[in-house]
């Protein structure tokens, strides 16, 4: 492990109702005597003494003065990993630092403080003042051009991009995901800007916008979105649901991914833990309104099956807490896929007795775990299937998806085997 991956930092949190962070604990990363990375987290005494103290996640890091230890996830607790950059952000930070493999602590400390959720990290016992200025939507053209440069040419020497331009793009690196993105502000608040890639099979910005609209029409709670044209190209803006603009700054919601809720990793070996059914159990334990949240998750799982969103991995689901209570976050990152196989489609997470099979019978098989009676669950699926079948095209056109792109995605919706009876072998 490199020196940057061992060390320690302070963890800050912006409490419910507040716009300034406070220090909540200390995180230490080291290598144990077996050569395995080990993370240790402890809440500060003064934080524990606060009336308004809240735990940083709903599963592992309960409010206690005992030190928590983990050897999973390279020693980075799930809630901290969720606040750390993912593929895209790591790529920009590597460029910025000129290092091929910075350590986990370096990623945590170098990502600017606009990360998802309410946490922050630093080397001082006292947190810095919150970030007050963000890239404005006007900067989107420069951001898009810089993102293109990072995507197009990973090999170029670091100094070939001006520091100013990289700094521009660094804002937003602590949001996760693989697609090039940036965080921008307008008078309404903060947005995640997602850029189209030259390699996209269709206009992703418009198609994702359409899927969020379609999801709302199917009764799901979703992130708000809009598409703007920048330099002749479309950019998707998704309004951040973990931030709320108030007169003296931003309120921040705590946020953890389903990966953390499932105590799972991104790796292939960990995939047997990726499960909607298991997530429903965890949600029921963590949320103050288990029935509403479990039903919302059921809808989301069915919607993903109906639009063949096979990229519905556990980082594409999250729990948020705007106050003390946790709830499923609004849906985001909804994208259809058109796999070659028409007889079977698999979601990224198990959704019933027949595993990941995106099929009505399979989705129904564990309805009780979502606290739904058989006829309620059946009714939801029937209703959503009818909605998707009859309105996906009009919704896509309304969102500005071209007729050619509609053709390209047509195979994704309520595909043939959605209603096939699963064979026992599946």
Q: Using the rule CB under 5 A, which residue among 333, 346, 385, 405 binds Mg ion?
A: 333
Q: What share of the chain is helix, strand, coil (3-state, %, to 5)?
A: 40, 20, 40
380, interface contact from ligand ATP, Mg ion, none, CB < 5-8 Å by kind: none
**Separation of CA 265 from chain center:** 14
Burial (CB < 10 A; 0-12, 13-18, 19+), residue 292, is middle
* Number of Cβ atoms within 10 Å of the Cβ of 45: 8
Query: Based on CB atoms, which residue is closest to Mg ion, 25 or 177?
Result: 177
**Residue 328 contacts by C-beta under 8 Å, 6 or more apart in sequence?**
221, 283, 287, 293, 296, 297, 300, 317, 318, 319, 320
Query: Based on CB atoms, which residue is closest to ligand ATP, 5 or 174?
Result: 174
d(CA 93, CA 105): 12
Minimum distance of ligand ATP from residue 288's CB (angstroms): 21
Binding window for Mg ion (CB under 5 A); candidates: 74-82, 141-149, 241-249, 325-333:
325-333
Extended strands (E) in 223-266 = 225-230, 233-239, 243-246, 249-252, 254-257
Binding window for Mg ion (CB under 5 A); candidates: 167-175, 240-248, 312-320, 356-364:
312-320
Phi-psi region of 333 (alpha: psi -120 to 50; beta: other; left: phi over 0): left
Query: Based on CB atoms, which residue is closest to Mg ion, 5 or 173?
Result: 173
Minimum distance of Mg ion from residue 140's CB (angstroms): 20
* Count of residues touching Mg ion (by CB under 5 A): 3
Query: Based on CB atoms, which residue is closest to Mg ion, 317 or 345?
Result: 317
Minimum distance of ligand ATP from residue 132's CB (angstroms): 19
- Render 318-335 in DSSP notation, one character per residue: EEEESSSSBEEPPB----
Minimum distance of Mg ion from residue 177's CB (angstroms): 4
The residues that touch ligand ATP, with contacts defined as CB under 6 A, are 116, 175-179, 192, 223, 238-242, 311, 315-316, 318, 332-333
Q: Does residue 316 belong to the site contacting Mg ion (CB under 5 A)? A: yes
Minimum distance of ligand ATP from residue 128's CB (angstroms): 22
Within 167-186, which residues bind Mg ion (CB under 5 A)?
Answer: 177
Minimum distance of Mg ion from residue 87's CB (angstroms): 10
296, interface contact from ligand ATP, Mg ion, none, CB < 5-8 Å by kind: none
Query: Based on CB atoms, which residue is closest to ligand ATP, 55 or 117?
Result: 117
**Which residue is nearest to Mg ion, using beta carbons?**
333
Q: What angle do CA 353, 355, 361 make, to 5 degrees?
A: 55
d(CA 389, CA 196): 26
Minimum distance of Mg ion from residue 279's CB (angstroms): 16
298, interface contact from Mg ion, ligand ATP, none, CB < 5-8 Å by kind: none
d(CA 337, CA 352): 20
Minimum distance of ligand ATP from residue 362's CB (angstroms): 23
Beta strands 37-43 and 225-230, pairing class: unpaired
d(CA 123, CA 10): 6
39, interface contact from ligand ATP, Mg ion, none, CB < 5-8 Å by kind: none
List residues binding Mg ion (CB under 5 A). 177, 316, 333
């Amino acid at each position: 492990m490199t020196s940057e991956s061992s060390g320690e930092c302070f963890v800050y949190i912006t409490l419910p109702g507040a716009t300034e962070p406070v220090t909540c604990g200390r995180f230490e990363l080291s290598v144990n005597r077996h050569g395995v990375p080990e993370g240790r987290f402890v809440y500060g005494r003064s934080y524990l003494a606060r009336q308004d103290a809240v735990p940083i996640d709903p599963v592992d890091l309960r409010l206690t003065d005992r030190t928590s230890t983990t050897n999973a996830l390279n020693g980075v607790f799930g809630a901290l990993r969720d606040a750390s950059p993912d593929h895209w952000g790591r790529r920009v930070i590597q460029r910025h630092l000129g290092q091929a493999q910075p350590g986990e602590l370096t990623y945590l400390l170098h990502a600017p403080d606009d990360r998802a959720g309410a946490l922050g990290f630093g080397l001082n016992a006292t947190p810095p003042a919150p970030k007050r200025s963000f890239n404005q939507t006007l900067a989107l053209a420069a951001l898009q051009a810089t993102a293109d440069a990072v995507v197009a040419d990973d090999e170029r020497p670091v100094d070939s991009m001006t520091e100013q331009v990289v700094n521009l793009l660094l804002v937003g690196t602590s949001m996760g995901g693989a697609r090039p993105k940036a965080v921008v502000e307008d008078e309404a608040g903060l947005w995640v800007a997602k850029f189209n890639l030259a390699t996209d099979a269709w206009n992703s910005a418009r198609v994702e916008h359409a899927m969020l609209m379609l999801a709302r029409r199917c009764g799901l709670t979703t992130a708000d979105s809009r598409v703007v044209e920048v330099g002749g190209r479309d950019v998707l803006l998704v309004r951040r649901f973990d931030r709320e603009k108030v007169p003296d700054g931003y309120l921040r919601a705590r946020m953890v991914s389903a990966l953390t809720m499932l105590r799972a990793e991104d790796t292939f070996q960990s995939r047997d833990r990726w499960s909607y059914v298991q997530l429903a159990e965890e949600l029921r334990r963590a949320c103050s309104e288990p029935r509403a949240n479990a039903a919302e998750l059921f809808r989301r799982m069915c919607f993903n099956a109906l639009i063949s969103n096979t990229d519905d991995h556990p980082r594409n689901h999250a729990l948020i807490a705007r106050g003390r209570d946790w709830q499923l976050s609004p849906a985001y990152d909804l994208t259809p896929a058109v796999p070659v196989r028409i007889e079977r489609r698999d979601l990224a997470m198990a959704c019933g007795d027949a595993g990941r099979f995106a099929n009505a019978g399979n989705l129904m098989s564990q309805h009780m775990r979502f606290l739904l009676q058989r006829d309620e669950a059946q009714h939801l699926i029937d209703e959503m299937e009818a909605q998707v079948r009859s309105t996906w095209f009009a919704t896509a056109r309304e969102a500005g998806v071209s007729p050619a792109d509609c053709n390209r995605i047509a195979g994704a919706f309520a595909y043939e085997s959605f209603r096939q009876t699963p064979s026992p072998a599946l």
